[in-house]
């Protein structure tokens, strides 16, 4: 049985947004449509890193980190900002069910959330466009959207968050090490 949960996101600059979605993972304390299109072919850009019950890969092909994860209480940044050209394909970093597609979280602009096994979730914000629908199952490497500058964004980039048991974690601790990974 699925339950409806309220997600509260404390957004950038202390703005607050909220939305409802159906998921087994529950509510998140976060940061601060049905069929695949022909262009959403499976593209795993870097060799995935196995994290126990699933693998994780980078959500963009050419990784350029413009803002790292910062767990501090004041001015925290609970994800990674990855810069790139407008409309760069964004891929699912792991398999799972799309639990949110929309603009309902102030500051995040167009956003997608993917849940895996009621334990892991990933968030992709500031998208220019969507290539998935809520409820759709995606595989790691499926194109889910395009990089943009929606919401509170100072430039074109992807804001990527990883949540474990509802809490934000540093994605760098789980993503493949770029210095050691060969591109596929």
pLDDT single digits (tens) 26-57: 444 333 322 223 333 444 444 555 666 668 99
Check if the beta carbon of residue 112 is closer than 8 Å to that of residue 101: yes
Query: Regarding beta strands 16-23 and 3-10, do their DSSP bridges make them parallel or antiparallel, or are they unpaired?
Result: antiparallel
Looking at the chain, the whole-number percentage of residues with pLDDT higher than 70 is 64
Q: Which range is least confidently modeled, 11-25, 48-62, 66-80?
A: 11-25
Query: Of residues 89 and 172, which shows the higher confidence score?
Result: 89
Query: Of residues 105 and 139, which shows the higher confidence score?
Result: 139
Helical (H) or strand (E) element with 114: strand 110-116
Predicted TM-score of the model (pTM): 0.72
Q: Whole-angstrom Cα distance, residue 81 to residue 10?
A: 17
State the chain's mean pLDDT as an integer. Answer: 75
Cβ-proximal residues to 149 (8 Å cutoff; 6+ apart), any chain: 86, 109, 126, 128, 155, 156, 157
Looking at the chain, the whole-number percentage of residues with pLDDT higher than 90 is 45
What's the CATH code, domain 33-173? 2.70.70.10
- Smallest Cα–Cα separation from 28: which of 115, 137, 133, 130? 115
Number of H helices, E strands in the chain: 0, 14
Check if the beta carbon of residue 120 is closer than 8 Å to that of residue 140: no
Q: Whole-angstrom Cα distance, residue 38 to residue 158?
A: 22
Give the tokens for residue 24.
Answer: 């087994």
Q: Whole-angstrom Cα distance, residue 57 to residue 174?
A: 9
């Amino acid at each position: 049985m699925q339950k409806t949960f309220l997600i509260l996101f404390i957004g950038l600059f202390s703005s607050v947004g909220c939305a409802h979605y159906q998921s087994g993972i529950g509510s998140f304390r976060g940061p601060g449509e049905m069929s695949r299109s022909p262009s959403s072919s499976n593209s795993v850009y870097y060799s995935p890193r196995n994290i126990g019950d699933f693998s994780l890969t980078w959500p963009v092909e050419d990784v350029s980190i413009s803002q790292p994860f910062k767990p501090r209480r004041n001015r925290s940044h609970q994800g990674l900002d990855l810069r790139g050209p407008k409309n760069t394909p964004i891929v699912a970093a792991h398999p799972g069910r799309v639990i949110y597609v929309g603009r309902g979280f102030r500051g995040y602009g167009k956003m997608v959330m993917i849940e895996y096994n009621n334990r892991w979730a990933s968030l992709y914000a500031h998208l220019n466009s969507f290539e998935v629908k809520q409820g759709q199952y995606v595989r790691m490497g499926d194109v889910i959207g395009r990089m943009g500058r929606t919401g509170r964004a100072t430039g074109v980039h992807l804001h990527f968050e990883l949540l474990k048991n509802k809490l934000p974690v540093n994605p760098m601790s789980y993503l493949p090490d770029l210095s050691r990974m060969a591109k596929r």
